[in-house]
Chain A
Amino acid sequence: MFNGLGKILKVLSSGSKAYKLWVAVLFVLIAIGTALLIKQFDEGLIATNMRDQVSWGWYIANFTFLVGVAAAAVVLVVPGYLYHYEPIKEIVILGEIMAVSAVVMCLVFVTIDMGSPERFWHLIPLIGIFNFPQSILAWDVLVLNAYLVLNLSIVSYTLYKLYKGEHYSKKIMMPLIILSIPAAINIHTVTAFIYAGIPARPFWNIDVLAPRFIASAFCSGPAFMLIIFQIIRKTTPFKIKDEALFKIGEIMMYAMILNLFFLFSETFTATYLPSNKNASHEYLWHGLNGYNQLVPWIWSALVLNLAAFLLLLIPKTRKKLTTLNLACVLLFVGIYIEKGLGLVVPGYIPSALGEIYEYFPNTLEIGISIGVWAFGLLVFTLLSKIAIAVISGELRCECSLEAKCSDNA
């Protein structure tokens, strides 16, 4: 057991200069984020730009976006395990590690957004009070943690078996894999329901929100994965076939069609005739009473998304790595803006009593968010480093010597 841990530490501490530099940079960003977070805990959330009029901001926006990234692991699981598309099956584990890291980030973002995070025990059933099934937030806590546990078990079970040089048992693996599909849809649906269930905010209170969340998640998550996979392919012995990347690109295209269609439906119904949804949409797309801070952002998001969509739609550009990568970057940024600032903030503008407070994250919020992202990327880097070491055979159990030991463990 300790031997195994020692080996893992050895794997983690060895690597190229670029790897070491990357990890060092992440640690520095985490340190800065932590310092800012301490300031925030000390002063309270007054240190952020959130106020009573816009009571959720950048943190919850990031949380929402990252739930999408986490849910996107399904994009690999479905073709890999249900359709036995071999090139993707080989990289499913990386998708699941990404899901784990994204959920971890989600949980951190929610925690730092809380006014009294030290009271987290109030949420624990029996000791505290868990308002289930009334509160959608309680549902979200449940499904997110379940999804985290599920993905962690799939990852650790697969790696453990590989570490021991054995093949995983289908009886254990398949139910977990199949369960992870609805679980992924679940986390994003429930997260969408947090917003969609609130009639007080007409901007959020729409039927199409959950489907749109999932469609956009199946674009942004894979876009992130595609880039990461190519970095891994370049820097490690881990092999990822081009076919797999192009297949993901194709899935992204379909998801993007749906996403744009939902966006169009939503905007149409909310703006065609006067309704209680007008004001928020007007603020977002055009500016309201001279307040128009989000207008350039949302239009650039739309342009980025459309450009990415065209690059994905045309087979020639979709099946070329340079253009595919460009599409991924455009799409990732586009959806990050659209779902981050573009979803959470306009829900509060105008406020329930018609006030306009133009929220934009301040340096502290952005700094802390970068720290959280760095933390998530660190989790991803370290986990995939271990995974790749195990898969490539660098990290293997010397079973002849340790047979008894690991059996007991």
Chain B
Amino acid sequence: MAQFNWYQRILFSVMLCVAAAAVVFVSSGDILAAEGMAQEENILDRPLEEIVGQLAPQNQLTLFPCSDCHNDLPPNPKKRELGEPHNELPGIFKHDAKNRWCLDCHDMRNRDKLRLLNGALVDFKEYYRLCEQCHGRIYREWKVGVHNKITGHWKGEKQYWHCAKCHNPHDPVFKPQKPAPPPRKPTEIYIKTKK
């Protein structure tokens, strides 16, 4: 460890966290992962707001708390290219990037909070309240359990998948993927194996 200096260590741990988050994110579609999730929480009888709080994507907040660095930096509301460690963001940020940027959701003064349109500050755990502001219809569909993935038990414990589990807040469009192989044609359904 001695040959690594402090920023290399931070970089390493950030990379590790990102990798872990990516693995969780990618494998969340896997059936076994979904079953494993079933033992995480008992959320059936709780109010909806609490369900979302419980499932907030803490694992994706790799640099949290933001105030660790931002307390020492002067706030600058001007829309601009960001430097280290956010220099990857301009490329990644695809959430109406033309009209919006960081401070439309992140509060300029209290970096550990998110800011609603009306100026109210909310916890990161309640991030969904930001989504709700623009995507009201989807949010209502989400609330009745139509626009979301639900796993677990139709009778018993259910896991309601929250917004950020499928949509990256910085790049929310659902990503195209490679389809599983097509079925074999009727003439090829049987491949004779040597015995």
Touch between A and B in complex, CB under 8 Å?
Answer: yes
Q: Which residues of A contact B (CB under 8 A)?
A: 46, 51-54, 357
What are 11 A-B pairs at a CB distance below 8 A?
A: A46-B189, A46-B190, A51-B186, A51-B187, A51-B189, A52-B186, A53-B186, A54-B186, A357-B185, A357-B186, A357-B187
B181-195 CB contacts (< 8 Å) to partner A: 185-187, 189-190
On chain B, the residues within 8 Å of A54 by CB distance are: 186
Q: Which residues of B contact A (CB under 8 A)?
A: 185-187, 189-190
**CA gap between A53 and B190 in the complex, in Å:** 15
SS of B interface (majority): loop
How far apart are B66's CB and chain A's nearest CB, in angstroms? Answer: 53
How far apart are A373's CB and chain B's nearest CB, in angstroms? Answer: 27
On chain B, the residues within 8 Å of A51 by CB distance are: 186-187, 189
On chain A, the residues within 8 Å of B186 by CB distance are: 51-54, 357
**CA gap between A132 and B6 in the complex, in Å:** 83
How far apart are B191's CB and chain A's nearest CB, in angstroms? Answer: 11
**CA gap between A292 and B187 in the complex, in Å:** 17
**CA gap between A54 and B189 in the complex, in Å:** 14
On chain B, the residues within 8 Å of A52 by CB distance are: 186
On chain A, the residues within 8 Å of B185 by CB distance are: 357
How far apart are A39's CB and chain B's nearest CB, in angstroms? Answer: 13
**CA gap between A65 and B172 in the complex, in Å:** 62
Chain B residue nearest in CB terms to A355: B186
Chain B residue nearest in CB terms to A52: B186
On chain B, the residues within 8 Å of A53 by CB distance are: 186
Residue from the set B185, B186, B187 with the largest chain A CB neighbour count within 10 Å: B186
How far apart are A68's CB and chain B's nearest CB, in angstroms? Answer: 29
On chain B, the residues within 8 Å of A46 by CB distance are: 189-190
**CA gap between A46 and B190 in the complex, in Å:** 8
On chain A, the residues within 8 Å of B187 by CB distance are: 51, 357
On chain A, the residues within 8 Å of B190 by CB distance are: 46
How far apart are B122's CB and chain A's nearest CB, in angstroms? Answer: 48
Chain B residue nearest in CB terms to A359: B186
How far apart are A293's CB and chain B's nearest CB, in angstroms? Answer: 13
**CA gap between A51 and B190 in the complex, in Å:** 11
Q: Kindly list 5 other residue pairs between chains A and B, CB separation below 8 angstroms, not including A46-B189, A51-B187, A357-B186.
A: A46-B190, A51-B186, A51-B189, A357-B185, A357-B187
Chain B residue nearest in CB terms to A356: B186
**CA gap between A357 and B189 in the complex, in Å:** 13
Chain B residue nearest in CB terms to A53: B186
**CA gap between A51 and B187 in the complex, in Å:** 8
How far apart are B49's CB and chain A's nearest CB, in angstroms? Answer: 44
Chain A residue nearest in CB terms to B190: A46
Chain B residue nearest in CB terms to A54: B186
**CA gap between A51 and B189 in the complex, in Å:** 9
On chain A, the residues within 8 Å of B189 by CB distance are: 46, 51
On chain B, the residues within 8 Å of A357 by CB distance are: 185-187
How far apart are A345's CB and chain B's nearest CB, in angstroms? Answer: 13
How far apart are A198's CB and chain B's nearest CB, in angstroms? Answer: 21
**CA gap between A53 and B189 in the complex, in Å:** 12
Chain B residue nearest in CB terms to A46: B190
**CA gap between A403 and B16 in the complex, in Å:** 105
**CA gap between A51 and B188 in the complex, in Å:** 10
How far apart are A361's CB and chain B's nearest CB, in angstroms? Answer: 14
How far apart are A250's CB and chain B's nearest CB, in angstroms? Answer: 46
How far apart are A326's CB and chain B's nearest CB, in angstroms? Answer: 39
**CA gap between A205 and B129 in the complex, in Å:** 56
